[in-house]
Amino acid sequence: MANKFKAYTILTLLVIGLVFMGIGCTGNENGEGSSSVQDISLKGSDTVLPLAQAEAEEFMTEFPEKSVTVTGGGSGVGIAALIDGGVDIATASREMKADEIEAAKANGINPVEHTIAIDGISVVVNSNNPVSELTFDQLRGIYNGSISNWKDVGGEDRPIVVISRDSSSGTYEYFKEAVLLGDEYRPDALTQPATGGIVGEVTQNSNAIGYMGVAYLDESVKALSLDGGNGSEYPSSENIISGAYPLSRPLYFYTNGEPSGLTKEFIDYVMSEDGQSLVLEVGYFPINQ
């Protein structure tokens, strides 16, 4: 009986030891002492989304033991997730606002900005619209409501249907600052939660106008040349890189403090020669020309 009890005790101790060995091998973001999959998450800008997804796919192909999850929802959504400590990297097509930085610090989060690429904002109309260019004053008038008919900007006698991103979008914020110059969006503007909605509306409605990142441009819509005061320029890669096109902006990652572990590895990859080549392939522009 004593031998049976002794054997049972030894077996129990062995099982407990194996359990604690398993716990000790559990992975973490830094991958210290780990053989399991390491993972980080990115969330935010729909403009940055296709680039972040492409970078993540290539990164995971090269490092299959590491996982990078990417979701959209808008710059504001990603920044809010960072403030709440719910994401490793917030992706954004605008800078964080002062009140967001204040809220982050109050929550023990220290936002650090990383510029990862350059983007251009294209203003698009239906492919059947004869208008091919607008001045900034005309574009501002269309979006603040003082211009409501295409005939007032050289087009046909038709009402203008204005399409905009919603207020959670960094593109919405950037466009408001750069084009509306403090004016409010017209109250009858149709808002879309994602860029795909803008493409769909403009494609289906010959009177519509919208705006989106250049990387989303395709043959279903027509991009307009814009005159910001120095002549009319089309959103070509050359004009965006040179700064001749008036609607260009940086794209950002935000982290809590200086990145470390897998977060740093992924950002370093995005900023590497391979990562910046991918920026160009996706339709954006590397920050180191």
Q: Which residue has the tokens 């002549």?
A: 231
**Rounded mean pLDDT, 45-66:** 96
Lowest mean per-residue pLDDT among 149-153, 185-189, 284-288: 284-288
Check if the beta carbon of residue 114 is closer than 8 Å to that of residue 252.
Answer: yes
**pLDDT for the residue numbered 13:** 40
pLDDT of 277 strictly over 80: yes
Confidence of residue 54 (pLDDT cuts 50, 70, 90): very high
Domains of the chain: 38-118+250-282 (3.40.190.10), 119-248 (3.40.190.10)
**pLDDT for the residue numbered 215:** 84
pLDDT digits (tens, 9 = 90+) for 130-176: 999 999 999 999 999 999 999 999 999 999 999 999 998 999 999 99
pLDDT of 12 strictly over 90: no
Residue 286 or residue 15, greater confidence: 286
**pLDDT for the residue numbered 185:** 98
pLDDT of 210 strictly over 50: yes
- Which parts of 25-169 fold into alpha helices (H)? 49-62, 75-83, 98-106, 136-144
Report the C-alpha gap between 8 and 1 in whole angstroms.
Answer: 11
Confidence of residue 216 (pLDDT cuts 50, 70, 90): confident
* CA separation, residue 134 to residues 154, 245, 247 (Å): 9, 13, 13
Report the C-alpha gap between 130 and 226 in whole angstroms.
Answer: 15
Confidence of residue 289 (pLDDT cuts 50, 70, 90): low
Name the pairing type of β-strands 89-92 and 111-126.
unpaired
Percent of the chain with pLDDT over 90: 76
Q: What is the mean pLDDT of the chain?
A: 88
Threshold 0.85, pTM exceeds: no
